[in-house]
Amino acid sequence: MQQPNKLSPFFENLNFEREDNTMVINFGPQHPSAHGQLRLVLELDGEQVVNAYPDIGYLHRGVEKMAENMTYNEFLPTTDRLDYIASTSNNYGYALAVEKLLGIEAPRRAQVIRTMLLEINRIISHLFFIATHALDIGAMSVFLYAFREREFAMDLMEDYCGARLTHSAVRIGGVPLDIPSDWMKNVRAFCDKLDEEIEITYEALLTENRIWKMRLEDVGIVPPEEALSWGCTGPMLRGSGIPYDIRKEEPYELYPELDFDIPVSDTNDSYGRYRIYIEEMKQSTRILRQLIPMYDDTEPQLMAHAPQYISAPKEEIMTQNYALMQHFVLVTQGMRPPKGEVYVATESPKGELGFYIKSEGEPYAYRLKIRAPSFYHTGYLQKMLLGGYIPDVVTMISTTNIVFGEVDR
């Protein structure tokens, strides 16, 4: 006999025929400020939130199970669809986890290119946050300006890999392409343009704007102990005064060789987190300027040399029979990593993005789990929203910078 569906404890405790002043409403999943398919059940006393329940599960993507039924290389483009605003960070996090499993390292030129792509990707994501955050608060002009600069950054990604949103710009073992001519010059020009616009446009319009500060200051307070307890990372954690950045704590690629700062705010509120996003874009342009001269000092190799896992360069495949045979086996049957398990965390624009892979020596991962920052930040909404008002709900959802592609996995 079929069992009736059980409600969560939150819904079981709700009495929809109420004698008090509270009211239960749905915020989303179709609300434009829900940042994806978030259904937020709010219990209100007047306009004040007294209870909140974030209800996820409207996408049903099953990405982790897809990974367990695809070869390692087949799954890489699917990672684009997690945080689709910052797809290269997902490509890279997954590729680095597989590389650790295989025990290989990308060549230095590939590391330079990958680090540059990651920072351009960070800028694209942060500009999207500034744009949508401003629009949620009511600042229409900033939305248009931020998307203008974001288009320029996406032009750089398109010049490199041919795609603007879902990039697939990284490969297991390196990168597929060298940079095109004049690309470095365009990167330098973009950095100069962005630094100028941050100062004369975004900060001039927002940072000291009294309406902006009234909407953000003392809204969405995240105390340091709660940020740690709920698993917050990225700007959500650094906005609570904790200077934790995986690029510094567990550095990867060329980050140990780069000079950059970790912006931190001790205000614990939405305004402090906004300032962190602004400052992080400045640090990203600082990193890109350091990487440009590093490229010229590298050998032209783009992929790691590991014939049992990585296909040989195209020239060898076209001229050497054994290289062609290896390539055929890798494409049709997939690589077979050694048995073992690995967890690798990277600093995506939204926080800690980690991939756990357990291998049984087969072409498919036995288990693959993704630790996505938006999932933890969505969970914290049930505590963060309490005591706020309806307009503050929009502000607080926006300041968490969640993307639901990586929440409902």
Provide the pLDDT for residue 1.
Answer: 47
Strand partners of residue 42: 25, 52
Averaged pLDDT of the chain: 91
Q: Distance between CA atoms of 92 and 112, rounded to whole angstroms?
A: 13
* Assigned domain for 372 exists: yes
User: Is 137 a domain residue?
Assistant: yes
Question: Is residue 2 predicted with pLDDT exceeding 50?
Answer: no
Give me the mean pLDDT over the 134-140 stretch: 91
Q: Is residue 228 part of a domain?
A: yes
Please give the residue range of the domain that contains residue 103. 63-305+335-401
| Structural domain count, the chain | 1
Residue 8: predicted pLDDT: 59
**Averaged pLDDT, 114-135:** 96
Q: Which CATH number does the domain housing residue 168 bear?
A: 1.10.645.10
- Average of pLDDT values for 254-271? 95
Q: Which residue in the block uniquely carries the two structure tokens 């490509």?
A: 91
Whether 192 is in a domain gets the answer yes
Q: Can you tell me the distance from the alpha carbon of 88 to that of 81, in angstroms, rounded to the nearest whole number?
A: 10
The overall longest dimension of the chain from CA atoms, in Å, is 82
Q: Which strands, in side-by-side order, build the sheet including 48-55?
A: 22-27, 39-45, 48-55
Is residue 42 assigned to a domain?
no
**How far is the C-alpha of 66 from the C-alpha of 254, rounded, in Å?**
31
Mean pLDDT of 77-83: 93
Q: Tell whether 247 is covered by a domain.
A: yes
- Percent of the chain exceeding pLDDT 90 equals 79
Nearest to 161 by CA among 102, 92, 93: 92
How many helices (H) and strands (E) the chain has is answered by 17, 6
The answer on pLDDT for 304 being more than 60 is yes
Distances (CA, A) of 123 to 149, 154, 286: 9, 10, 12
Q: Give the strand order in the sheet containing 351-359.
A: 340-348, 351-359, 367-371
Write the pLDDT tens digit of every residue in 38-56. Answer: 889 999 998 899 999 998 8
Share of the chain above pLDDT 70, in %: 95
- Quickly state the pLDDT bin for 84 (edges 50, 70, 90): very high
Amino acid 408 reads D
In this predicted model, what pLDDT tens digit does every residue of 171-203 receive, in sequence order?
999 999 999 999 999 999 999 999 999 999 999
Q: Is the pLDDT of residue 238 over 80?
A: yes
| Alpha-carbon distance values, 269 to 187, 231, 291 (Å) | 33, 17, 33
Residue 9, in any domain of the structure: no
Asked if 121 and 349 count as a contact pair (C-beta separation under 8 A), the reply is yes
For residue 150, is it within any domain?
yes
3-state secondary structure of 132: helix
Provide mean pLDDT across the span 134-147: 93
pTM: 0.92
Cα→Cα distances 350→6, 246, 264, Å = 33, 12, 14
